[in-house]
Amino acid sequence: MPEQKREFPYTRQDFNQLCNLVNQHTGIQLAAGKEDMLYGRLSRRIRKLGLPSFKAYIQLLKKDEKSDEFGEFVNAVTTNLTSFFRENHHFDYLKQTVLPELMKRNRDTKKIRIWSAGCSTGEEPYSIAMTVAETMPAGWDVKILATDLDTDVLQHGETGIYDESRIEGLSKATVKRWFVRNKQHPGKVRVQPELQALIYFKQLNLLQQWPMKGPIDIIFCRNVIIYFDMPTKQTLMERYADMLVDDGHLFLGHSEAMNHMSDSYTLVGKSVYIKGGS
């Protein structure tokens, strides 16, 4: 790592130790070239804590990996890039194919369970909720579980309040139906309570034990597994398969092909898979 004039001492050993901590506790692999990114995100924590160096910060983290600061460390490192209806073709497929199929398959129970794994600040589960609300008839029991490792983004999602800039790409009809401008928060919008009622936000580390039992009809895990190594990806795909109903749908990100990860799925759409099939 080239020497740079920095506010806090930061060595190659510091970077490697932080990468190991990140990988052990989140499964995310930070590649070489992320030194500046990590410095920028963690120097704010070091400054706030009044510590002299990255070495001292690492010692603090290792002293108690269940501390509040360790949670702040994970929140600072994890990446949370998202938007409403990101990869819109997935929501078209959900509306036109998956939900109609489930209305037939689950007509006796009238129950559908959906999981947004790696939900970030909530735009994905709210996009799912809008699609569900515009597609499903009254009387159905639909619940969306939204999980993320980062407690800060979960809190943001749970409030349902966003900058107006986040909805600029949405149609006027969508904005009018599902968002409310609040005079108490200039430049902000709030999602309709009807959508919030469909979603349960919960902190979850995908690499640890999952408290939910399943079965689940649909899992969205988009732009999450790109941060994991291949053995972790393979394990995660099998755990998802165990959680899904037969012919349940798994949505991955556009750059996350299933190649060599699992034989438990069949490709049925653009980065859309079903459990089983031929």
Q: What is the pLDDT of residues 211-261, one digit of tens each?
A: 998 899 999 999 888 778 889 999 999 999 999 999 999 999 877 778 778
Q: What is the mean pLDDT of the chain?
A: 90
Domains annotated on the chain, with CATH: 12-77 (1.10.155.10), 88-275 (3.40.50.150)
The pLDDT of residue 86 is 87
**28-to-10, 11, 102 alpha-carbon distances in Å:** 21, 21, 34
The answer to whether 232 and 213 have CB atoms below 8 angstroms apart is: no
Active site residues: 41, 148
Give the residue with greater pLDDT, 64 vs 96.
96
Give per-residue pLDDT as tens, 157-216. 999 999 998 898 889 999 999 999 877 778 899 999 999 999 999 999 999 999 998 899
Contact 60, 146 (CB under 8 A): no
